[in-house]
Structure 1
Amino acid sequence: MANLLNAHVVAGIHQSARNQVDCFIKSEKEIVNQWSAEWYITRAGNISVLGSEYQYIFAKPTESYEEALGISRELVVVFSTYSNFEARSLEAYDAICEGIQDARIERTCYVMISKCPHIKEQINSFLSNQECQVVIPFSFEEFKQNKSDSYFIRNRFRESFKSRDLFDYSDPLKKDFYFFGRNEIVVDIIDKHHENLNTGLFGLRKTGKTSIIYDVIRKIDKDDALGVLVDCQNTSFNMRRWNRALYFVVSQVCKKTNIAEPEEDKFTEENAGRLFVEQLTKIHRTTQKSILLLFDEIENITFGKSAVEHWRDGFDFVYFWQSIRSAYQNSPSGVFTFCILGTNAKCVEEPLIRGADNPIFNIFQPKYIPGFSVQQTREMVRKLGRLMGIKFDETIYSKLTEDYGGHPFLVRRVCSMIAQNYPNRPVTIDRIKYQAIRDKFNRESDYFKMLLEVLKQFYDIEYEMLETLAVGNTDDFKMFAQEDYGFVKHLIGYGLIQEVDGEYDFQIDAIKQYLQRTTNKSLLNMSTADKWKELCSTRGELEQRLRTMVRKILKIAFRNEAGAKEEVLRKASLTKPKYKTMSYADLFDSRKSEIYLKNLKDLINANWEYFADYFKNQEYFISAMDVINCEGRFDAHATVPTGEEMEIIRGSINYILKGINKYEEE
């Protein structure tokens, strides 16, 4: 008997399940009786899968099993009476659970009892993917041989779980067995879709964006809707021009619905937008389902970021999203919505793209994936740890959350290292054991580099800000923040930094330590010649580009070359007679004139209103230019700069180059 509303469970068989078990064959009944001596059998039945018949029971663990294995929900036990084990037997579990939304069912594992004598080896060969559920294998013969062994079932569970590191999975989760802590985000995206609203979800690599997409698709497909993933890093998509990219989106929806795809050649620049909305409307009417388009890794088609020229430097982003937004606004409500996923929300935050309006500017309120709370960390770590025979002291959950900012990937990776270091289980992880593994993980792990690589690749200014904060240059960091708070919003959104009373610090100390190590290491490893070479080349490039910028802006500001020339002669103190006979362009020719960094600084400072939009803070601009022109000339004086001095010069050069880049992009 059992009271399923309470934690107390007594081994046995529920009467309704017993009636079903009476239809089992003799050997199956005997095994059920052995099982019911230690578990409570709640349900039983049979199912046909691809022409094969299987019996099954649902078994709830008693208190001793729950404590030993960390399993509290009902477990599915599948019987296979076939002597040769085949992969289709594994589909029996999915068929049994299909359509069952019962939260009482354990999803991380189930039991397979087979007449195949080599079931253990067969299961291991079929389930090599780390995301697969743990399948606890038994043979019919083993139950005969171990009738008197009261620990037989329990030991097999421990053996099966010990052979797997349930923390060790890093690919996006396509199933929900190990999906923790993100259900609220999934539900919000689905709810917004049903309200005919578009959404955007952003976060660093390995925060679970793609796993969330898969869960959205799993759940929304059970509603009157279709979830369709468009992977923007797929070259079959991003190498296409905007009109053919629209065709690709339509083709993905057609594949999902088994509807014939239109002819790609018809998606010309003139017709692509019209055909896009016509095709989606047709699919909606045919299937009677709304469509949710999920664009993952949006950076790969974003202006200024994509590796593909027509997305990065052309207007394909504008035309593509103009077409989609127009289709969304002009099609009947409920035909489709879209969700954009990426690292940060630049694609919807910039109002202009090369002078053209951004069609998706402020189209939705961007949402960043938060780190796990202590409770969410506890749910994941405690569940997976107990299955593997690893028990964590209660204080460890809050330490994991604090040390890694609730980043689920980092939490799993450090727990995986714990599992590798303690193969003899059961084991309890206390504060001392945890700190030793944590410190080792922080020293040796390359995962921090992987997480930040997307910033280095696509958002170098934000990466530079992190480096600046990590090495203690808080004044420079605050300057960046004052200049464009959007960068800080992104870094806070990622869960990397926090702001308290106007002061900034890292949310994840391990990331800070990694940046400190790598920044200092790069400087320590630089030879004197390399330092001089860097200073000379970067300062030379900056001066050349800044000279061009000043020449063009002053010409526009003073409406003609004559007025601009007079301003340059006066403010740059060019008093030699030869300069009066030079053309305006020749004044900025380094082979003919003597306009140096100091002169450029004076010209910009005297005409600040024309340059303020690019350099923002006049006082900091003057300071940065002085650093570059004075402290930044170690190479000219054969002086070896220290690591700290190199960092200061780099920060100043990058600040000026950022303003030049902004001008050149326009």
Structure 2
Amino acid sequence: MPDQPRTTNQIVLAQHRNRFEESTQFGNTLTRFFEAQGITAVRFESDMYISSIWWIHATLPKSSLEIFDIAREALFVYADLNRIQPRLLNQIIERFGGHQSLDSDIVFIASNSVDAERLAEQREGTSISIIPLNLREIERDGGKPIKKTLERWLPVFDRYNVTRPLRRTDDLFGRKDELSEIVFSLRHGQSVGLFGLRKAGKTSILNAIQTTRSKSGSFVVQLDMSKFVNAAHFRKTIVEECWKSATSVLNKANKSTRALHREGFLGTLDTKGQATSDVDTLVMGWLDDVTAVTETVKLPLELIIDEIDTIFPGQSTQFLDHELQDFSVVMRQLRGLLQADDRQQPQAVLLCAGVNPAIFESSTTPDGRNNQLYKLVRLTFLKPLTFDDSSRMVRSLGSKMGVKYGGQETTESLYAYFGGHPMLTRQACSEICKLRPDGSFPWTVSQSEIFRVVSSRDIGSVYQQAKEIATQFTQWFPQEAELLRTLWHSDPEMQKFANEIVNEDNEALLHARAYGLIDPDSPPRSRIGMITNVFSKS
């Protein structure tokens, strides 16, 4: 018979456990499973809205902690439901946000629904490893050992292979300083342009800032220029998204949204926030309505725009010339909101991202006209990760899959090839994981697996990804790209010639330095070995 609880916390925990066991069909089954597996529950909490859902915090046995690096409490969700909807994942993410003691990379879902396994297989776009526990199997035969369950399900999610930008700040490695600096600028009315190499993590940073700023009650709208058909589509979307965000901000602050629903208050929107399809009305009234909504919220609009460089004349492959001229008009109008007069802060602040900063960096457009967006934002350049941050990312992501990078020489090799570029490093590690022998838990990566991956020239290989990055850099900065080819030429005389140019002109490799293709040393030193290899062979 277990010892009687002695402390107040133990008494409260026992009371909640008893209520869980008495009010659920399989509560006793799950708590007996915990005891048999050495899992220690430290919190039982029923869901506020659905009585058949319970939230349980627990610590795993030492053997699992060491193998899979689950250092904090694990979240178990008891869900006695016929169907588990993907929206449960949103609740789980909210739970992680409100409880810092939880390991936010993993969740156990105890259920009888086949949907739990489906969620574990598909994950619906989340970066959380989902471990399903079948309650009827546990009731019938005690269930599989927790270590075996982790070995079965953790490798299902290749944590390295992220095909879409991240959204959670917990998923970002080595970007704390960039996030803090950008948020500081936004809070003080300073617009920011974030530029860097393809797949360097720019969109993930925008997503993380949008998430954190919205949670803090800020008035935020996030847009992606690559998703618009033309400027009319942009105007329609921005007024609708401003209305939605404003409604959310006011509701969270328990303030009235009556003005936003008033007939005739906004010229381009109806009382439900739907924009008119009349192009002329949108052209004439979109900016007035954005301004009116902003004044109603009484907060500056924090406008986040990705792929901003796609609307710069002479640089875009997405829009026709007349569409780019229309976008130019839109941005000139928007500039009035972004620039404060002598009496007040600006009504809006812009955070944008792209690869080519010419839209803010060049005083003229390629056709010789004055660039109205010149120096509109403070430019900041996103460099690759440091060695320490890159190594931490590699080890941390791998540990949740039972993949170990043993001595420092393996992470040093990865850094020599990829220089801390997040996507290239993760893609390489993802390919390395495919070489893992069946049943190897944990598995330690060796130099031979790294060499096999970096040597591949197959379609979709890491080399081909590096080649795409080099190609895009060449498209935007052809003179710098040519100089890099000369600098990394096999002929020492060519290298000497390139170094002389760099020594005479400190800005000859301005963007190559800013983007981290080379270290800021003089003479310049290659940082991303794989991209250096691409340039030297082109």
Superposed pair shares fold, TM > 0.5: yes
Residues 411-449 of structure 1, C-alpha deviations (whole Å, 9 max, x = no match): 111111111001432244355335433543478531112
Report the 3-state secondary structure (helix = DSSP H, G, I; strand = E; otherwise coil) of the residue aligned with 2:426: helix
Report the 3-state secondary structure (helix = DSSP H, G, I; strand = E; otherwise coil) of the residue aligned with 1:169: coil
Q: Is the 1:20–1:45 Cα contact (8 Å) retained in structure 2?
A: yes
Match of 1:508 among 513, 521, 528: 528
Report the 3-state secondary structure (helix = DSSP H, G, I; strand = E; otherwise coil) of the residue aligned with 2:524: strand
Q: Is the 2:309–2:315 Cα contact (8 Å) retained in structure 1?
A: yes
Asked if residue 490 in structure 1 is aligned to residue 533 in structure 2, the reply is: no
- Alpha-carbon distance in structure 2 between the residues aligned to 1:351 and 1:483: 24
Report the 3-state secondary structure (helix = DSSP H, G, I; strand = E; otherwise coil) of the residue aligned with 1:87: coil
Asked if residue 16 in structure 1 is aligned to residue 30 in structure 2, the reply is: no
Match of 2:348 among 312, 322, 336: 336
Corresponding position of 1:240? 231
Corresponding position of 2:64? 65
- Alpha-carbon distance in structure 2 between the residues aligned to 1:268 and 1:511: 45
- Alpha-carbon distance in structure 2 between the residues aligned to 1:479 and 1:318: 40
Corresponding position of 1:574? none
Corresponding position of 2:333? 323
Q: Which amino acid aligns with 1:365?
A: R
Q: Is the 2:356–2:476 Cα contact (8 Å) retained in structure 1?
A: no
Match of 1:461 among 468, 476, 479: 479
Q: 1:479: how far off?
A: 6.9
- Alpha-carbon distance in structure 2 between the residues aligned to 1:39 and 1:14: 16
The one of the two structures with greater contact order (alpha-carbon pairs below 8 A, sep at least 6) is 2
1:62–1:247 CA distance, 2 compared to 1 (3 A): same
Structure of higher CA gyration radius: 1
1:170–1:324 CA distance, 2 compared to 1 (3 A): same
Report the 3-state secondary structure (helix = DSSP H, G, I; strand = E; otherwise coil) of the residue aligned with 1:500: coil
Q: 1:510: how far off?
A: 1.2
- Alpha-carbon distance in structure 1 between the residues aligned to 2:519 and 2:87: 51
Q: Is the 2:105–2:128 Cα contact (8 Å) retained in structure 1?
A: yes
Q: Which amino acid aligns with 2:21?
A: I
Segment drifting more, 315-324 vs 210-219: 315-324
Q: Is the 1:467–1:515 Cα contact (8 Å) retained in structure 2?
A: yes
Asked if residue 294 in structure 1 is aligned to residue 304 in structure 2, the reply is: yes
Q: Which amino acid aligns with 1:168?
A: N
Q: 1:189: how far off?
A: 1.8
Q: 1:392: how far off?
A: 0.9
- Alpha-carbon distance in structure 2 between the residues aligned to 1:142 and 1:103: 32
1:198–1:154 CA distance, 2 compared to 1 (3 A): same
Q: Which amino acid aligns with 2:425?
A: V
Corresponding position of 1:415? 429
1:364–1:123 CA distance, 2 compared to 1 (3 A): closer
- Alpha-carbon distance in structure 2 between the residues aligned to 1:363 and 1:212: 20
Residues 558-611 of structure 1, C-alpha deviations (whole Å, 9 max, x = no match): xxxxxxxxxxxxxxxxxxxxxxxxxxxxxxxxxxxxxxxxxxxxxxxxxxxxxx
Asked if residue 376 in structure 1 is aligned to residue 368 in structure 2, the reply is: no
Q: Is the 2:120–2:132 Cα contact (8 Å) retained in structure 1?
A: no
Corresponding position of 1:87? 85
Corresponding position of 1:474? 495
Matches within 5 A, 1:142-181: 142-147=137-142, 152-176=145-169, 178-181=171-174
Match of 2:110 among 105, 110, 113: 113
1:56–1:279 CA distance, 2 compared to 1 (3 A): same
Residues 531-567 of structure 1, C-alpha deviations (whole Å, 9 max, x = no match): xxxxxxxxxxxxxxxxxxxxxxxxxxxxxxxxxxxxx
1:14–1:483 CA distance, 2 compared to 1 (3 A): farther
Q: Is the 1:280–1:335 Cα contact (8 Å) retained in structure 2?
A: no
Corresponding position of 1:252? 241
Residues 344-400 of structure 1, C-alpha deviations (whole Å, 9 max, x = no match): 322222123355443332334311112112222233222221111111114023332
Q: Which amino acid aligns with 2:241?
A: Q
1:355–1:485 CA distance, 2 compared to 1 (3 A): farther
- Alpha-carbon distance in structure 2 between the residues aligned to 1:113 and 1:394: 37
1:365–1:420 CA distance, 2 compared to 1 (3 A): same
- Alpha-carbon distance in structure 2 between the residues aligned to 1:89 and 1:342: 32
Residues 282-316 of structure 1, C-alpha deviations (whole Å, 9 max, x = no match): 2123334432112211221113211334379x755
Segment drifting more, 178-187 vs 367-376: 178-187
- Alpha-carbon distance in structure 1 between the residues aligned to 2:529 and 2:378: 29
Q: Is the 1:77–1:112 Cα contact (8 Å) retained in structure 2?
A: yes
Q: Is the 2:340–2:347 Cα contact (8 Å) retained in structure 1?
A: no
Q: 1:139: how far off?
A: 1.3
Q: Is the 2:127–2:159 Cα contact (8 Å) retained in structure 1?
A: no
5+ long unaligned stretches in structure 2: 1-8, 248-259, 261-272
- Alpha-carbon distance in structure 2 between the residues aligned to 1:180 and 1:62: 27
Corresponding position of 2:295? 285
Q: 1:198: how far off?
A: 0.6
Match of 1:191 among 158, 179, 184: 184
Corresponding position of 1:436? 451
Segment drifting more, 34-43 vs 505-514: 34-43
Q: TM-score, normalised by structure 2?
A: 0.81
Report the 3-state secondary structure (helix = DSSP H, G, I; strand = E; otherwise coil) of the residue aligned with 2:305: strand
The count of aligned residue pairs is 489
Match of 1:426 among 420, 441, 447: 441
Q: Is the 1:14–1:40 Cα contact (8 Å) retained in structure 2?
A: no
Corresponding position of 1:97? 95
Q: TM-score, normalised by structure 1?
A: 0.66
- Alpha-carbon distance in structure 2 between the residues aligned to 1:296 and 1:120: 34
Q: 1:240: how far off?
A: 2.6
Q: Which amino acid aligns with 2:186?
A: H
- Alpha-carbon distance in structure 2 between the residues aligned to 1:28 and 1:453: 58
Report the 3-state secondary structure (helix = DSSP H, G, I; strand = E; otherwise coil) of the residue aligned with 2:19: coil
- Alpha-carbon distance in structure 1 between the residues aligned to 2:378 and 2:506: 17
Q: Which amino acid aligns with 1:433?
A: S
Report the 3-state secondary structure (helix = DSSP H, G, I; strand = E; otherwise coil) of the residue aligned with 1:366: strand
Report the 3-state secondary structure (helix = DSSP H, G, I; strand = E; otherwise coil) of the residue aligned with 2:351: strand
Q: Is the 2:302–2:351 Cα contact (8 Å) retained in structure 1?
A: yes
Task: Please tell me the root mean square deviation across aligned C-alpha atoms, in Å.
Answer: 3.1
Q: Is the 2:165–2:204 Cα contact (8 Å) retained in structure 1?
A: yes
1:133–1:245 CA distance, 2 compared to 1 (3 A): closer
Match of 2:419 among 405, 410, 421: 405
Q: Is the 1:80–1:89 Cα contact (8 Å) retained in structure 2?
A: no
- Alpha-carbon distance in structure 1 between the residues aligned to 2:225 and 2:87: 36
Q: Is the 1:131–1:169 Cα contact (8 Å) retained in structure 2?
A: no
Segment drifting more, 73-82 vs 252-261: 252-261
1:288–1:22 CA distance, 2 compared to 1 (3 A): farther
1:88–1:362 CA distance, 2 compared to 1 (3 A): closer
Q: Which amino acid aligns with 2:420?
A: G
- Alpha-carbon distance in structure 2 between the residues aligned to 1:159 and 1:455: 42
Q: 1:110: how far off?
A: 0.2
Q: Which has the higher helix share?
A: 1
Residues 15-57 of structure 1, C-alpha deviations (whole Å, 9 max, x = no match): 43322111013531342243145233221101145x5631121
- Alpha-carbon distance in structure 2 between the residues aligned to 1:171 and 1:61: 31
Q: Which amino acid aligns with 2:519?
A: Q
Q: 1:452: how far off?
A: 2.5
5+ long unaligned stretches in structure 1: 1-12, 520-666
Report the 3-state secondary structure (helix = DSSP H, G, I; strand = E; otherwise coil) of the residue aligned with 1:141: helix
Residues 159-199 of structure 1, C-alpha deviations (whole Å, 9 max, x = no match): 10122322112211234563333233223222211111111
Report the 3-state secondary structure (helix = DSSP H, G, I; strand = E; otherwise coil) of the residue aligned with 2:157: coil
- Alpha-carbon distance in structure 2 between the residues aligned to 1:23 and 1:96: 24
